[in-house]
Structures are given as structure tokens and as C-alpha cells.
Chain A
């Protein structure tokens, strides 16, 4: 465990020292505040559009952070050759993989916490309404989403040749699932035939990341989600993250280092 924590610590330090997260947070804040200052028929309490814009920017940033951080971890270790002194210590490759996973995930969750704090501030000052439970649920589901994406990216980074291809492919997959994930069954039913069966199979095989995006419930102040749903989502996400990590490890274990 101490090894996993040590490896994770370096990832987190790296993220804190790189400017990417700050740039994204700054952009999110800037765009949100600019749009928040638009005069809308003299009513300063109109808030939902702003919540939507802010949450959308947060989602974009989180995917960017998760994929960009995770994609370069292992390739960078190989490229700078730090993987050698690391593995020359009594460290297994499984520990390296898990350390990278927890590091990237913690980094994502930390930056998410920053982003959501900003969101609470924006929505609270506009609406004078603080549904903290709902916000926490959205934050937690978002964090589970990041765990799956990080694990998927780590898997991509040991299967694919270059970080840029990992980023592109995982990015397309994640976006595809977010946009189409919950509609694939309908498309499959309409298509029919072999293609329909194929779509249906994809529908059942993919991790349904779109569940974790509960922006609409938050934007429109719907009641909190049942906690059993949250628990199910957490287990489902953990199962997929675990699956991806095992696959990543299986590949990484046999990977030639030079």
C-alpha cells in the first residue's frame, strides 16, 4: 500500500505543478462569470442557464484532465526512463499501475472539488438555495465517472502506441458514450438485423458513463437521487474501473520496457 501511495503522490504533485488545471478552472470561471453578468431582462435571479453552462464547462474540463493526465503517465515513465529506477526497487508492475490509477483519480477528484466549490458559489449566490445533498451526489457520481475514465485511459496507454492516439481514441469513446450511450438500444431496435444485434451487444457491453452525468437534475432542482441508485452506480463504476485496470495490468506486465 505504501508503494501505491508513494507512486500516487508523485502523480498528484505533478498535477499540482502543471498549469493545465488552473488554466481550465480559470477559463471555466471566466466564461461563467462573463455569462453571469449578462443583463437578462433586469432579473438577477435567473440562474439555471448559468448552472448549465458552468456544469458543462466542468464536465469538459474533467474529461480533459482525466484523459490527459492518465494517458501520459506510463508512456512518460518509459520515455524519461524513470520506470527503470522505479522497477529496480522492490516494486511490482501491478503496484505501479495501481499507484498511477489512484494518483490520477485523486488528482481528478481534487480538481473536481475545486470546480464544484466554484459551482456551489455561483449557483448559491444566484438562487439563494443550497441543495448540498444533490450537489454532493452529482460530485460523487462525477468522481466515479472519472475513475472509470482514468482506468480506461491507462488501459489505452499501454495498448496504444502514442499518448496522442490514446487521448483521441479514449476521448471519442467517452464522448460517444456520453452522447449516445442511453440511446443505443433504441437505435438498435430501429436498425434491426445483424447491425441491430451488434449495436445491442455494444449497448450491453459498454460502461454507461452517461448515468454519471446528472446535470439536468441539478440544473432544474429535481429532488435528490435515491441513495441505492448512487450505491449501484458506484459499484458498477468500480467494477468497470477494476476490469480496465486488470486488462491494463495484464498488458503492462508483459510489456517490453525498451
Chain B
């Protein structure tokens, strides 16, 4: 009886305060506001199903937030100029930070400069003076031109990875931008963290190979890329062609070819390029490279 009352009293004293209502309201609003930002590929169920419904609900909530933070990183990459669910989002279907990093294939169409369109009335026109409305990318042309400004996207990627450790792009994108701004060691460490959570990830193995290659550790780079290629074959060969992630396969083989070419193993290089041939939509380009290599010319980059 007494204990019951004191619990009720405590609840009363907390919930009787008017501002608690507003705090709760804001909590709700925050969750709602996360929905206004576009959700890119929200539910790639990579995680094995645990079978516990509560865990999976919580899990999906976490993934939703993880994805929100991932998108937020891209919002930061654009210094805040980003379409909401009410705007035309064709130009922002793939995160630009991932596209620029070469870890995702860009599928964006449409006008990324003026996705807001013409203002419809004076309220709309005036409103645009209160939020960023110029298309920029961090680093090159960010509004304040600060050094290493690209790193501002990293906190959100880190939080995203904490919430959903199985979201691969989080690691690869972060690693790319870390390396771009000279933090190679941090990049590799973060990728290894990702590899612990996703031991079979082709993308992470590939990125780790890039780290090692940049560090002039050719031996390790070759091993990692070769492992990535084996994993890709294990995971993707059985799938129908249009479902295969050929973008990453091409990247792996191209990098391997270049590595062998630089190491002077022309035969191995040509073997890589030939493996690549059937994966490409326009094989002419590859055929030309094979010819170049055979003729003793340098292997051009893509």
C-alpha cells in the first residue's frame, strides 16, 4: 500500500511538472523529424534473424536511427543543403559522400543544384534565406573553406556504426574520408572494427586492401584483395546477374590488375582484366586496356 503510494507520488511529482510533457513531446517529435529525412535503403536485413520479436523491433528501431545518422553524414557533406521527403530527391538517392568515395555506384539523376525548384510564394522565397540553399560539398567548396572539413561527417558515421554495426557503407565511407584527410591509421582501425562485426564483407576487405596498398604494403594488399575476390565469388556467383554487386567486383579486379602491373607481373595483370571482362557492360574499354598492357603501354586508370 505504502510503497505503491510512494511510487505514485514519485510519478506524480515527475509527470505533474508541465515541462516534462514538453520534453516527452519533443522526444516524439525528434523521432518524427527523423522520418522527414529520406531513408536510403533502410532495411537491408543482413543480420541473421534472432527469432526474438522484441529484439527485432528494437533492432529495427536501431537500424532506423543508424540509417538516419548515415544520411545525416551526407547532409553534413552538403553543409545542410539537402532534400527532405517533401522535396524532389532524385538527385540524392545515393549518398554523394559514398559516390565520391567510390564505395557505391551512383544512381542519381536530376538537378542536385536546384532540387527545391522555383519558390512558390513569398513565404517560400523568404524562408529560403534561413537555411542553406546552395549546393556544395565539404572540403573543396564548403562555405567556410576550412581545412579537413570533410571530417565533420565522421561523428554521424561513427554513431551510425554503433547503432547498426552491420551497415557496411558506414565503415567504407568513413575510411575513405579519413584517408582523404590523412588519417590512414584511423581509417584502417575503423575498417578492422567493421571487419570484426562483418567478417565476410567484400567491401571492407577491399577497402582494407586499399589502406595496405597506400601504405606500400603490396603483399598484404594483394592478399586482402584476393580474399575479397574469393568472398565475392562465394557470395555472388549463384545470384542472377542483375542482383550481383558487380560494381565492387570490378573495383577489386581493377585494383588487383593495377597492383600486378606495378609489380611487373604482366600475365597476372592480364588474367585479372580478363576475369573482369564478362562483368562489364561495355567490354571494349577493358579489351583496349588488355591490348595496351600487352603492347607494353601503361595501364590507364578508370
Contacts and interface: CB of A to CB of B under 8 A. Distances in A.
B110 interface: no
A76 to B, nearest CB: 11
A42 B186 contact: yes
Nearest to A53: B155
A221 B21 contact: no
Contacts of B127: 182, 208, 210-211
Given A40-B154, A40-B158, A216-B131, A164 B80 contact: no
Contacts of B156: 49
Contact of A46 (B131, B142, B152): B152
Nearest to A66: B22
A229 interface: yes
A243 to B, nearest CB: 16
B18 A72 contact: yes
B179 to A, nearest CB: 11
A175 B26 contact: yes
Given A42-B186, A68-B18, A211-B126, A220 B76 contact: yes
B152 A164 contact: no
A225 B129 contact: yes
B86 A167 contact: no
Contact of A47 (B18, B124, B126, B152): B152
A212 B58 CA distance: 35
B25 A172 contact: yes
B155 A216 contact: no
Interface string A101-137: 0000000000000000000000000000100000000
B298 interface: no
A253 interface: no
Given A42-B186, A72-B18, A179-B32, A64 B23 contact: yes
Contact of B23 (A60, A186, A216): A60
A147 B279 CA distance: 63
A50 B9 CA distance: 37
Interface stretch (B143-151, B231-239, B243-251): B143-151
Contacts of A46: 151-152, 154-155
A226 B129 CA distance: 8
Given A49-B152, A64-B22, A185-B120, A219 B80 contact: yes
A171 B158 contact: no
Nearest to B88: A186
Given A46-B155, A64-B19, A163-B18, A220 B132 contact: yes
A167 B19 CA distance: 8
A250 interface: no
B183 interface: yes
A232 B186 CA distance: 47
A23 to B, nearest CB: 9
B26 A60 contact: yes
Identify which of B32, B126, B152, B174 gathers the most chain A CB atoms within 10 Å of its CB.
B152
A203 B121 CA distance: 11
Interface string A157-169: 0000001100110
A43 B80 contact: no
A46 B155 CA distance: 8
A84 interface: no
A69 to B, nearest CB: 9
Given A186-B87, A225-B129, A48 B152 contact: yes
B36 interface: yes
Contacts of A168: 21, 25
A41 B154 contact: yes
Interface in B58-112: 76, 79-80, 84, 86-87
B291 interface: no
Contact of B19 (A20, A43, A129, A183): A20
Given A183-B84, A220-B76, A223-B143, A40 B155 contact: yes
Interface string A199-222: 000011000101111101101111
A127 B63 CA distance: 31
B123 A208 contact: yes
B8 interface: no
Contact of B186 (A41, A72, A217): A41
Interface in B150-196: 151-152, 154-156, 158, 174, 178, 183, 186, 190
A187 interface: yes
Interface string A43-58: 1011111100000000
A45 B147 CA distance: 11
A221 to B, nearest CB: 4
Contacts of A38: 155, 158
A48 B183 contact: no
Given A182-B123, A219-B80, 7 more contacts: A38-B158, A41-B174, A41-B178, A41-B186, A179-B32, A208-B127, A220-B76
Closest 8 CB pairs of A and B: A49-B155, A216-B80, A220-B79, A221-B144, A183-B86, A41-B186, A64-B22, A68-B19
13 contacts: A41-B158, A41-B178, A41-B183, A42-B183, A47-B152, A48-B152, A64-B23, A167-B22, A182-B124, A185-B123, A212-B130, A213-B130, A220-B144
